[in-house]
Amino acid sequence: MRLLCIIGILSLIFVSVGAAKIGGGDILFKGGSAGDVIFRHDSHAMDAGFKCTDCHDSLYVTKQKDKRVTMAQMEIGKSCGACHNGKKAFDVRLKSDCSNCHTK
Protein backbone atom coordinates (compact mmCIF):
# COMPACT_ATOMS: atom_id res chain seq x y z
CA MET A 1 0.00 0.00 0.00
CA ARG A 2 2.82 2.38 0.87
CA LEU A 3 4.46 1.72 -2.49
CA LEU A 4 1.22 2.56 -4.31
CA CYS A 5 1.01 5.88 -2.48
CA ILE A 6 4.58 6.76 -3.42
CA ILE A 7 3.95 5.81 -7.06
CA GLY A 8 0.75 7.89 -7.04
CA ILE A 9 2.49 10.94 -5.63
CA LEU A 10 5.36 10.66 -8.10
CA SER A 11 2.89 10.30 -10.97
CA LEU A 12 1.10 13.49 -9.92
CA ILE A 13 4.39 15.36 -9.76
CA PHE A 14 5.42 14.25 -13.25
CA VAL A 15 2.00 15.08 -14.72
CA SER A 16 1.95 18.54 -13.15
CA VAL A 17 5.49 19.31 -14.35
CA GLY A 18 4.61 18.15 -17.86
CA ALA A 19 1.44 20.25 -17.89
CA ALA A 20 3.18 23.41 -16.67
CA LYS A 21 3.21 26.21 -19.19
CA ILE A 22 6.42 28.10 -19.74
CA GLY A 23 6.05 31.61 -21.01
CA GLY A 24 3.31 33.27 -19.02
CA GLY A 25 0.81 33.82 -21.83
CA ASP A 26 0.09 36.91 -23.85
CA ILE A 27 0.28 40.48 -22.56
CA LEU A 28 -1.74 43.28 -24.13
CA PHE A 29 -0.16 46.73 -24.35
CA LYS A 30 -2.47 49.58 -25.33
CA GLY A 31 -0.86 51.26 -28.32
CA GLY A 32 -3.04 54.30 -28.82
CA SER A 33 -3.54 55.42 -32.41
CA ALA A 34 -0.80 53.07 -33.63
CA GLY A 35 -2.84 50.08 -32.43
CA ASP A 36 -2.43 47.64 -29.58
CA VAL A 37 0.58 45.35 -29.17
CA ILE A 38 0.22 41.76 -28.03
CA PHE A 39 3.41 40.44 -26.49
CA ARG A 40 3.48 36.68 -26.92
CA HIS A 41 5.63 34.95 -24.32
CA ASP A 42 5.60 31.69 -26.27
CA SER A 43 7.12 33.15 -29.43
CA HIS A 44 9.73 35.06 -27.46
CA ALA A 45 10.62 32.53 -24.78
CA MET A 46 10.04 29.16 -26.39
CA ASP A 47 10.37 29.80 -30.13
CA ALA A 48 13.30 32.22 -29.86
CA GLY A 49 14.97 30.13 -27.17
CA PHE A 50 15.20 32.77 -24.45
CA LYS A 51 15.25 31.83 -20.78
CA CYS A 52 13.05 33.65 -18.28
CA THR A 53 16.17 35.24 -16.75
CA ASP A 54 17.12 36.81 -20.10
CA CYS A 55 14.37 39.37 -19.49
CA HIS A 56 13.32 38.93 -15.87
CA ASP A 57 14.64 40.51 -13.58
CA SER A 58 16.85 42.66 -15.77
CA LEU A 59 14.60 44.27 -18.40
CA TYR A 60 11.31 43.66 -16.64
CA VAL A 61 11.60 43.96 -12.89
CA THR A 62 8.04 44.97 -12.11
CA LYS A 63 4.82 43.02 -12.06
CA GLN A 64 2.89 46.27 -12.31
CA LYS A 65 -0.25 45.82 -14.36
CA ASP A 66 -0.75 48.17 -17.31
CA LYS A 67 2.86 49.33 -17.36
CA ARG A 68 3.50 51.88 -20.12
CA VAL A 69 6.21 51.18 -22.63
CA THR A 70 6.94 53.98 -25.07
CA MET A 71 8.64 53.99 -28.46
CA ALA A 72 11.10 56.56 -27.08
CA GLN A 73 12.15 54.08 -24.38
CA MET A 74 12.56 51.31 -26.93
CA GLU A 75 14.59 53.52 -29.27
CA ILE A 76 17.26 53.94 -26.56
CA GLY A 77 17.43 50.21 -25.85
CA LYS A 78 14.96 49.82 -23.02
CA SER A 79 12.16 47.28 -22.86
CA CYS A 80 11.57 45.67 -26.28
CA GLY A 81 14.34 47.80 -27.76
CA ALA A 82 16.97 45.84 -25.84
CA CYS A 83 16.59 43.04 -28.39
CA HIS A 84 14.72 44.75 -31.22
CA ASN A 85 17.79 46.76 -32.15
CA GLY A 86 18.57 45.41 -35.61
CA LYS A 87 21.13 42.93 -34.27
CA LYS A 88 19.15 40.39 -32.25
CA ALA A 89 15.78 41.11 -33.88
CA PHE A 90 14.20 43.62 -36.25
CA ASP A 91 14.90 47.24 -35.31
CA VAL A 92 12.04 49.19 -33.71
CA ARG A 93 13.73 52.45 -34.73
CA LEU A 94 13.13 51.85 -38.43
CA LYS A 95 9.37 52.19 -38.08
CA SER A 96 9.01 50.83 -41.61
CA ASP A 97 6.47 48.19 -40.67
CA CYS A 98 4.57 49.04 -37.52
CA SER A 99 2.38 45.97 -38.06
CA ASN A 100 5.28 43.80 -36.89
CA CYS A 101 4.01 44.66 -33.41
CA HIS A 102 0.93 46.87 -33.65
CA THR A 103 -2.52 45.59 -34.60
CA LYS A 104 -5.31 47.80 -35.84
Q: What is the mean pLDDT of residues 49-72?
A: 74
Claim: this prediction has a pTM higher than 0.75: no
* Residue 61: per-residue pLDDT: 62
pLDDT at 17: 42
Residue 18's pLDDT is what?
A: 42
- Contact call for residues 60 and 77 (beta carbons, < 8 A): no
Closest to 83 measured CA to CA, from 36, 50, 41: 50
Average pLDDT value for residue range 58-86:
80
